[in-house]
Amino acid sequence: MARRSKGLQFYKKRKRISVGLIKEIANWVFLGALAVLLAFVFVYSVGIKTSVIGVSMEPCLYNGQSVLINKVIYSITEPKRGDVVVFLPNGNENSHLYIKRVIGLPGEKVTIQDGRILIDGYFYEEDEHFDTIEDGGIAEATVLLGEDEYFVLGDNRNNSEDSRSANIGPVHIDMIIGKAWFHMASEEEPMGPIK
């Protein structure tokens, strides 16, 4: 006797998760976790975080803004003119970290005359957003930078304690902690590199 068909029948096909798919998902999860771990280790071994104290670096950096410091860069290369460096004034471990811009390099003569900076007798060309300097401090008489010494200024030239001040003066390379690398997000602008 022939079996009679009762119409169309649908079978639910069970979905199978293959071993290959599980391995691939596990591999992506592992690689993602590894990337996050490596980024964390890199940032915390190469950089440290500090906060800006005062208004001396405005408009580049603002009071209270967090800054990530690359503390390894100057063991590979030397500070360049225009770099924003973080240092301990006179190597004083009890002082807060200062953040300033490198203007004069080792062996150069820095003078501030008529509100402008001269390096080795030539006017230093700057962006127009820097104010004319009202007080040249010790740089009104020429400052000869020694080997491994840097002349640093705050971007807010008339409201900054920097290399013009006798109690700070030229900054020796041994006092420099590192280069200000990134500023953290603030109300004024998002996180980004320091220029």
Q: Which residues are catalytic?
A: 56, 100
Q: Which amino acid is at 139?
A: A
Coil/strand/helix, residue 111: strand
Measured CA to CA in angstroms, residue 144 lies from 73, 124, 132 at distances of: 25, 16, 22
Measured CA to CA in angstroms, residue 113 lies from 133, 152, 171, 194 at distances of: 9, 16, 21, 28
Helix locations, 47-155, DSSP H: 73-76
Share in percent of the chain as helix, strand, coil (round to 5)? 20, 25, 50
Task: Please answer whether residues 138 and 156 qualify as being in contact, where contact means their C-beta atoms are separated by less than 8 angstroms.
Answer: no
Measured CA to CA in angstroms, residue 192 lies from 10, 60, 71, 129, 150 at distances of: 59, 11, 18, 20, 25
